[in-house]
Amino acid sequence: MFLAGPASARGTLHGVVELREKVVLVTGGTGGIGKETARGLVRLGARVVVTGRDPGRAAAVAEELGVDALIADVTRQRDLRALAETVGERYGGLYALINNAGVHPPRRELTEDGVESAFAGNVLAPYLLTRLLLPALRRGAAGGTARVVNITGGVPRGRLDPGNLQAERRFTGWLTDTQYNRTKLAMMAVSRTQAERYGGPDIAVTVAYPGHADTPMTRALPIRTYPVLLRPVVPLVRPLMPLLWSDASRPARTAVRVVAADAANGVYVGMNGRRARWPAATTDPAVRDLLWTMCERLAPA
Ligand SMILES: NC(=O)c1ccc[n+]([C@@H]2O[C@H](COP(=O)([O-])OP(=O)(O)OC[C@H]3O[C@@H](n4cnc5c(N)ncnc54)[C@H](OP(=O)(O)O)[C@@H]3O)[C@@H](O)[C@H]2O)c1
């Protein structure tokens, strides 16, 4: 096991890693925060590959930022497997994988793999893509430490009910108990197991909270997606969101910093770029074992 300090460790990430010619993959990098993350990494000299579902948006971003763009829907396992194969063949080594694409569906729906879609996109996709890309990451480390950066969001706290991980009983609750928050919290628990299993001198797994931005995801959310008690204030706050959070480059800085600073395996980095305390549910070994076993079962090798 290779953990960089206790869960309560504080402090800012240090160091500057030379990114010139290093290959970095950003899922959901054709729009929103992911696109600004890609822009920030290009500025630091990295060779960036972005993914998205829409070929038109992908082509436009490839031209605007000078990046490569690949098509993959993170809620589809066949797309993730094809993506990993293409990345391995085309680039050989991968220095960093940023599992940025997030899924916030308006209601409970199942993917073609039979998995609840937020669980598929927010938990299984970072799990599966990381596992498939481990050989490329080990090659890309090239004597340094390759990075896996899993992007969390929402309000990732509270309990994880083993009987409701795929919203089998309840999709949206009263305050913070939503399927989006639940799956981001579950992903953080899985990330800690990834850090224990994969982390070492050649790979570091870090979770990052980007902070808020007015993006295609936030704009598309119907009011019923919000927790019941927040619904009355959503129409009042919504017009302010483009004013308060128009700049997606600010939240993008967190992931750029994790890639460009010294490796921080098993660390949770908050939106101020400082180490943050892991939510209590992610420290529960029973929850973590259950989630890992679920991932293995739902996305077999
Ligand atoms: N926005 C916020 O305030 C906020 C706050 C905290 C955390 N976060 C987290 O930060 C990350 C980025 O958030 P964002 O607001 O920028 O999200 P977003 O608006 O959904 O991001 C758009 C990008 O994601 C791609 N995308 C969307 N669904 C996808 C799917 N199923 N498969 C593959 N690509 C997909 C889009 O391309 P296509 O549409 O062409 O697929 C586009 O490249 C997410 O993990 C989110 O949970 C966001």
What HEC string does the chain produce? CCCCCCCCCCCECCCCCCCCCCEEEECCCCCHHHHHHHHHHHHCCCEEEEEECCHHHHHHHHHHHCCEEEECCCCCHHHHHHHHHHHHHHHCCCCEEEECCCCCCCCCCECCCCCEHHHHHHHHHHHHHHHHHHHHHHHHHCCCCEEEEEECCCCCCCCCCHHHCCCCCCCECCCCCEHHHHHHHHHHHHHHHHHHHHCCCCEEEEEECCCCCCCHHHHCCCHHHCCHHHHHHHHHHHHHHHHHCCCCHHHHHHHHHHHHCCCCCCEEECCCCEEECCCHHHHCHHHHHHHHHHHHHHCCC
How high is the pLDDT of residue 10?
59
Domain spans, the chain = 23-298
How high is the pLDDT of residue 170?
95
The torsion defined by the Cα of 292, 32, 59 and 38, in degrees rounded to 10, comes to -70
Write the pLDDT tens digit of every residue in 100-116.
999 999 999 999 999 99
Query: Which residue's CA is minimally distant from atom 13 of ligand 1?
Result: 33
Q: Give the percent of the chain with pLDDT over 90.
A: 84
Strand order in the sheet with 68-71: 68-71, 47-52, 23-26, 96-99, 146-151, 203-208, 267-269, 275-276
**Over 90: is that where the pLDDT of 1 sits?**
no
Write the pLDDT tens digit of every residue in 140-194.
999 999 999 999 999 999 999 999 999 999 999 998 899 999 999 999 999 999 9
CB-defined site of ligand 1, < 6 Å: 28-34, 52-54, 57, 73-75, 100-103, 121, 151, 153, 210, 212-213, 215-218
Report the separation in Å between the CA atom of 198 and the middle of ligand 1, taken as the mean of its atom positions: 26
Burial of 168 (0-12, 13-18, 19+ CB in 10 A): exposed
Atom of ligand 1 nearest to the CA of 104: 47
How high is the pLDDT of residue 231?
93
Atom of ligand 1 nearest to the CA of 35: 43
> Which of 217, 237, 254, 256 most suits a substitution to test ligand 1, by most atoms within 8 Å of the C-beta?
217
Mean pLDDT of the chain: 93
Residue whose structure tokens are 């083993």? 162
Query: Which residue's CA is minimally distant from atom 5 of ligand 1?
Result: 212
Write the pLDDT tens digit of every residue in 238-269.
889 889 999 999 999 999 999 999 999 999 99
Selected from 3.40.50.300, 3.30.1360.20, 3.40.50.720, 3.40.50.10420, the CATH number assigned to the domain covering 23-298 reads 3.40.50.720
Q: Which pTM value belongs to this model?
A: 0.95
CA distance 97 to 73: 16
Are residues 97 and 41 in contact, defined by beta-carbon separation less than 8 angstroms?
A: no
Query: Which residue's CA is minimally distant from atom 20 of ligand 1?
Result: 217
- The larger pLDDT score, comparing residue 18 to residue 251, is at 251
The torsion defined by the Cα of 120, 257, 269 and 30, in degrees rounded to 10, comes to -20
Residue whose structure tokens are 């038109």? 56
For the beta carbon of residue 289, count every other beta carbon within 10 angstroms. Answer: 12
Report the separation in Å between the CA atom of 218 and the middle of ligand 1, taken as the mean of its atom positions: 9
Averaged pLDDT, 87-97: 97
